[in-house]
């Protein structure tokens, strides 16, 4: 009995997709920045959900209501199917795995160009979404101006298309989670005092060549970063705990430092550089400034 309990406690939940900007490689640095005590948990740019699955694995969300959202409707549909219908999803993915080839990839990729795409069921769309994610170049979700998925096939020898263990455990973690397709701005109406909101937006480009910010044909440049800052600031005023990751760039630093009232411990920001080497130093700075409880 003791052994079984221990195994359950150590269960590791993880993302069921790869996602550009995913925070899997940064969890050890990020998680200590989270406050221990908060009411509801909100992640309005959930992407692959690396932070949510880690917090869940560590039992840090046991008593909280959890709200995960993202603007990407295909992604959110897939989260709902993983939560509500994982077994049928796995069966479909196993069929896709058997059929996988270059021809099959492009046949499935082109489905959104067809007028009947909207007639596909939610489960068919989720199967397509995971299949493309596991077999396309670098798991990159990229659509053209018309909204058609256009990432080429990747060069994997044996892509793990139907990862049943990961999907079933993700489904377990998502059982009581509210999953919403919405813009980050909606959070203003939802989060209340003592809740925790973790913002992980598309990062502001570090330089002219690293300007990949268009996850959903929406760029996330100065205007959107500014809108996000306003949301962040209003939430902090309402005494919501807010945590934000972004690139370590002059634009982002100036935007947040303008406030210059970081003495309020709820207002802190982690500046992440693309190679993330600066994060431990920033963490020390944040601790020294007494911004962590
Ligand atoms: C850096 S990724 C999040 C990565 C995630 N934390 C992870 O570990 O996988 C940014 C996410 O923001 C979403 N996004 C872009 N614009 C948005 C908006 N206006 N409102 C909400 N989500 C948005 C994208 O679809 C993408 O999933």
At 263 the pLDDT is 37
CATH topology of domain 16-71+182-293: Rossmann fold (3.40.50)
- Ligand 1 atom closest to the Cα of residue 24 is 8
Q: 245 CA to middle of ligand 1, Å?
A: 11
Residue 203 confidence (pLDDT): 84
Rounded distance, CA 86 to CA 131, Å? 14
Nearest Cα residue to atom 20 of ligand 1: 183
Please state the pTM of the whole predicted model. 0.87
Which residue from 25, 27, 45 has its CB within 8 A of the most atoms of ligand 1, so it is best to mutate?
Answer: 45
Judge whether 203 and 47 are in contact, CB under 8 Å.
no
User: 162 CA to middle of ligand 1, Å?
Assistant: 24
What is the CATH topology of the domain spanning 73-177? Adenine-specific Methyltransferase; domain 2 (1.10.1020)
The atom number, within ligand 1, closest to the CA of 201 reads 10
For residue 36, the model assigns a pLDDT of: 85
Q: Specify whether the backbone of 235 is left (phi greater than 0), alpha (psi in -120 to 50) or beta.
A: alpha
Q: What is the pLDDT of residue 119?
A: 96
Residues with CB under 6 A from ligand 1: 19, 21-23, 44-45, 47-51, 70-72, 183-184, 200-202, 215-216, 218, 220
Task: Supply angle C-alpha 190, 191, 196, rounded to 5.
Answer: 145
Question: How far does residue 103's CA lie from ligand 1's centre (Å)?
Answer: 30
One digit per residue, the tens of pLDDT, for the chain of length 293 reads 444 454 455 789 999 999 988 888 889 888 888 888 899 999 999 999 999 999 999 999 998 899 999 999 999 999 999 999 999 999 999 999 999 999 999 999 999 999 999 999 999 999 999 999 999 998 999 888 889 999 999 999 999 999 999 999 999 999 999 999 999 999 999 999 999 999 999 988 876 554 444 444 457 889 999 999 999 989 988 989 888 888 878 888 788 775 544 433 334 444 333 333 334 444 444 444 443 32
- Could you tell me the residue ranges of all domains in the chain? 16-71+182-293, 73-177
Q: How far is the CA of 216 from the centre of ligand 1 (A)?
A: 9
Q: What is the pLDDT of residue 224?
A: 94
Res 253: pLDDT: 77
pLDDT value at residue 208: 53
Ligand 1 centre and the CA of 88: distance in Å? 27
Domain 16-71+182-293 matches domain 73-177 at the CATH topology level: no
* 256 contact partners, CB below 8 Å, separation of at least 6: 229, 232, 244, 269
Question: What's the alpha-carbon Rg for the chain, to the nearest Å?
Answer: 20
Rounded CA gap, 202 and 117, in Å?
27
């Amino acid at each position: 009995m003791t052994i079984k309990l221990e195994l359950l406690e150590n269960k590791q939940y993880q993302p069921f997709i790869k996602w550009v900007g995913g925070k899997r490689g940064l969890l050890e640095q990020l998680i200590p920045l989270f406050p221990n005590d908060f009411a509801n948990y909100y992640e309005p740019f959930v992407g692959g959900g690396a932070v949510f699955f880690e917090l869940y694995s560590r039992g840090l969300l046991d008593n909280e209501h959890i709200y995960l959202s993202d603007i990407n409707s295909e992604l959110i549909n897939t989260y709902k199917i993983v939560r509500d219908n994982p077994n049928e999803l796995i069966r479909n993915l196993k069929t896709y795995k058997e059929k996988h080839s270059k021809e099959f990839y492009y046949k499935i990729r082109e489905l959104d160009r067809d007028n009947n795409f909207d007639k596909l069921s939610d489960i068919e769309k989720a199967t397509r979404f995971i299949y493309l994610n596991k077999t396309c170049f670098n798991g990159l979700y990229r659509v053209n101006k018309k909204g058609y998925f256009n990432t080429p096939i990747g060069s994997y020898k044996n892509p793990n298309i139907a990862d049943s263990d990961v999907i079933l455990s993700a489904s377990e973690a998502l059982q009581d989670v509210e999953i919403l397709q919405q813009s980050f701005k909606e959070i203003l109406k939802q989060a209340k005092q003592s809740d925790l909101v973790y913002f992980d937006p598309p990062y502001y480009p570090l330089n002219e060549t690293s300007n990949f910010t268009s996850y959903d044909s929406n760029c996330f440049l100065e205007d959107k970063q500014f809108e996000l800052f306003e949301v962040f600031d209003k939430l902090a005023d309402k005494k919501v705990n807010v945590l934000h990751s972004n690139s370590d760039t002059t634009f982002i630093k100036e935007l947040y430092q303008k406030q210059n009232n970081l003495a309020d411990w709820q207002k802190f920001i982690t500046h992440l550089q693309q190679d993330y080497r600066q994060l431990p130093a920033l963490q020390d700075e944040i601790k020294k400034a007494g911004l962590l409880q």
